[in-house]
Amino acid sequence: MNSFDNIKRITSEKNIRLRSPLKKRTYDKLQLFIKEAEAVSTETMVIKRQNIETELKKLVNGKKAWVEQDIFPFDCCSTAEADIAVQKADFGIAETGTVVVTSALFSEQLPSLLPMHHVAVVNESDILRDTEELFGKLGTAGIPHRISFITGPSKTADIELNLVKGVHGPGKLTIVIVENDEKM
């Protein structure tokens, strides 16, 4: 960008200072994340790291499920056949109760898209305040080929404004938050 462009941009940015809708006062990121997620009909669970497998198995056992390999091996179905899919999410965004799934491969987007129930597993330590924090982390050079923000279930109001869930994507979203390991 040449200097004149720069001058113009800097000046207009100086004049208008935007505040994130999150108030300055200290707030609990985890609490806000849960509150905002539930406000858009996302279910949330907070679990301890050592309980991941037992807790998640309760969700998937006996169902046509797809589970990300690294979480635990679960041999059942492809994402297209599954009714429920469990996948790690890279970040959470507290301001909107959003989970963020980044990927280089298309297939990595399918668990959060094809089955009726999507379970996103996110570390408490990866919950960020807002998109400013996320974009700061991602930078610009070489950002992931795909970044998906997922907030609540798939929905529509296209027929007489009736809210219906599960149009093309999942009708149900559960976020499993893995608590920070206890500090000594």
**Binding flags for another protein, 9-48, as an x/- string (CB under 8 A):** x--xx-xxxxxxx--------------x---x--------
Q: Does 104 bind another protein (CB under 8 A)?
A: yes
Q: Does 4 bind another protein (CB under 8 A)?
A: yes
Tell me if 41 sits within 8 A of 152, measured CB to CB: yes
Beta strand extents in 4-145 (DSSP E only): 43-47, 65-67, 84-88, 91-93, 98-103, 117-123, 127-128
Q: Does 95 bind another protein (CB under 8 A)?
A: yes
Sign of CA dihedral 123, 129, 130, 132: negative
Pick from 3, 81, 37, 75: nearest CA to 176: 37
Measured CA to CA, the distance from residue 31 to residue 53 in angstroms comes to 24
Pick from 177, 146, 179: nearest CA to 45: 177
The correct pick among 159, 182, 183, 184 for binding another protein (CB under 8 A) is 159
Q: Does 145 bind another protein (CB under 8 A)?
A: yes
Cβ closest to another protein, residue 159 vs residue 184 = 159
Residues within the interface to another protein (CB under 8 A): 1-2, 4-5, 8-9, 12-13, 15-21, 36, 40, 80, 95-96, 98, 104-106, 109-110, 113, 130-132, 135, 138, 140, 143-162, 164, 166-170
